[in-house]
Chain A
């Protein structure tokens, strides 16, 4: 009996030692040389693995960043400039500061403004709904309201407002990873610069129908009238396909377009004071009069 125990211990020990040696040699022979900086960069990343940078996860981003000659094409939207500064420090690169972005919902067809003309009782997914038909309102461009963007958001930054039936972005939580942009089959959500102190002006509509058709479907629709483009002194607004678009790079946040928009499709957010439409309109009128006088002279 004792003999069996001794033999067993001996055999297992010898076997263990031999296999350990084999493992040691294999590990030595087939060692994968890996840049130690990859681990360091990965540690500096937020670790959300959201894919917002265009890579499969934070590890994949770290590998790509270490391999790349500079950081121009690699940016972590979630970590933002802070994280990128850390990454640049580890890798000894320079990093260009990027303006922080935020998701904006370009549809303001609330339940009141956009009457429902039929009832959708199919599977609750915007993607499925969009593949079937134009939606339960007269607007074939607007929000379908099934919340694919809310489901796509890993950061809890999106929620459906039950009153308006539209998604709402929590700009504190939004990391601009772009998952909602990809999830929306109607391409309503856009990533825009957050703006100075979170102030920004944008057109909250993507309806490309002609004015009367758009207006009939939704009281808040952009009708492509072009008043905003005419009012804007910075040439920041273009009308394309019956819908206005404000170039964030050119916009100086004067909010004149917002005051002049006849349907209220232009939204200003993050401003400390609510917009005094009459005062702005008076200001525009005065300026236009002066311009006219200068022209006449």
Chain B
């Protein structure tokens, strides 16, 4: 048994990977898709098509709206019907490009064959540009634009690329199926990533509840003869797939508060992202589809589906036989960090990893009782925070105290809530407070920047008047 895991906190929920035996299946095209302009962290993309335009699969339809932003490509071929706000998974209006599907015609230059291309292009800059043009974002959940992550700020040096195949969230099996069925492509993608970062060693971290995947990937690495790539079996522990926790587990280095992983020489990419990088660099195929698990004990037709980005959730559910009768909650993502879907008419995003059905019994929240000061939440917090304290400050909205106690470092993993024997809604309140603290920090930074600019303008203006 492997002993590799992160040093503090964490919990061990039952892994419930009930859809692990379901091979990846191609979902038939939906009659209409809605591509949200904001499906990554950073500025929303700007549309570059107009209503009535004919588009092909893989054709860019929106360009980045800033440095931290990404291209969005049409995931289907057809006609642009509208560019208007539509309620997203949470019901909030978001700009969407609506495309009515006509046939399945791909844009030129995309290699759709199954042949494995192992030769990696020489030029690193060209590779990153290809990744940028393909609209690849981190598919582990945060959807951070990958090309930004691969362009570290000057002065920082990458020492290791970690490929995150932990999939520590219960129920999710999409990464596991990718490792089993598209392992070769994924490994080549990992090799590309390690080359771009300066031929650094690459570790593929896989939890021990996926022994087939560990053996399979080890075999592929041997077959393809990559020296720098290795597989590290990890002890099962949630939230191992979180970036900072994984760096701690693999490299035994801790990323400071507010710092980026590159500050300790690490770049973490998800298995799905590595596959998307392979598709983008070797096959010229932009990020137009991803694999997601549709699962849950009450759902009879479990599946791992390859789904075009922007497919309506309702279409996916209907394809698999409709809503199970006893399901009361549909969740996008896993049970720990996923969010309940408020609007089934909404569409999948690049980062959607699962659709999970839960019954009334599974979602039941026991009544809240008084805190008994057991400290289990503080013990479970993988970021070393004190959830019971943050909860109290959040209740009285004391932003200063929240910031001093690092509420902004909360990764919203839910370990505190999971471990609390008094069923206190810790995360619910801390998440809300974290948003307020981050808002205050941003406002302060903007004010400081404005003040600095005013200070630099004034002396030069004074000089000008002297002259």
- Seen from chain A, the residues whose Cβ lies within 8 Å of a Cβ on chain B are 117-119, 121-123, 125, 127-128, 131-136, 138, 140, 209
Known: A121-B363, A121-B365, A128-B432. A134 touches B90 (CB 8 A): yes
- Seen from chain B, the residues whose Cβ lies within 8 Å of a Cβ on chain A are 87, 90-93, 328, 339-340, 342-343, 363, 365, 425, 428-429, 431-432, 435
Taking CB atoms, residues of chain B closer than 8 Å to A117 are 342-343
CB distance from A114 to the nearest CB of B (A): 13
CB distance from A115 to the nearest CB of B (A): 14
Complex-state Cα separation, A126 to B355, whole angstroms: 26
B429 touches A128 (CB 8 A): yes
B365 touches A133 (CB 8 A): no
CB distance from A154 to the nearest CB of B (A): 14
Known: A117-B343, A140-B87. A127 touches B432 (CB 8 A): yes
Complex-state Cα separation, A135 to B340, whole angstroms: 12
CB contacts between A and B, total, < 8 Å: 50
Complex-state Cα separation, A33 to B280, whole angstroms: 75
From A119, A121, A133, give the contact of B90 (CB < 8 A): A133
CB distance from A124 to the nearest CB of B (A): 9
Taking CB atoms, residues of chain B closer than 8 Å to A132 are 90, 339-340, 431
- Nearest to B365 among chain A residues (CB) is A121
Main secondary structure on chain A at its contact with chain B? Answer: loop
Known: A140-B87, A140-B91, A140-B93. A133 touches B342 (CB 8 A): yes
CB distance from B361 to the nearest CB of A (A): 13
Which one of A133, A136, A209 has the highest number of Cβ atoms from chain B below 10 Å of its Cβ?
A133
Taking CB atoms, residues of chain A closer than 8 Å to B91 are 118, 133-135, 138, 140
Known: A140-B87, A140-B91. A134 touches B342 (CB 8 A): yes
Complex-state Cα separation, A133 to B332, whole angstroms: 13
CB distance from B171 to the nearest CB of A (A): 19
Q: Kindly list the 4 A-B residue pairs having the minimum CB-CB distance in the complex, ordered from nearest.
A: A134-B91, A133-B90, A123-B428, A123-B425
Taking CB atoms, residues of chain B closer than 8 Å to A123 are 425, 428-429
A134 touches B92 (CB 8 A): yes
Taking CB atoms, residues of chain A closer than 8 Å to B431 are 128, 131-132
Complex-state Cα separation, A21 to B222, whole angstroms: 89
From B92, B343, B428, give the contact of A122 (CB < 8 A): B428
- Nearest to A139 among chain B residues (CB) is B91
For this complex, 23 residue pairs linking A to B, each with C-beta atoms less than 8 Å apart, are A117-B342, A117-B343, A122-B425, A122-B428, A123-B425, A125-B428, A125-B429, A127-B432, A128-B428, A128-B429, A128-B432, A132-B90, A132-B339, A132-B340, A132-B431, A133-B91, A133-B339, A134-B87, A134-B92, A134-B342, A135-B91, A136-B342, A140-B92
CB distance from B391 to the nearest CB of A (A): 11
Known: A133-B339, A140-B87. A209 touches B428 (CB 8 A): no
Complex-state Cα separation, A128 to B436, whole angstroms: 11
Taking CB atoms, residues of chain A closer than 8 Å to B429 are 123, 125, 128
Complex-state Cα separation, A118 to B363, whole angstroms: 15
Complex-state Cα separation, A130 to B363, whole angstroms: 20
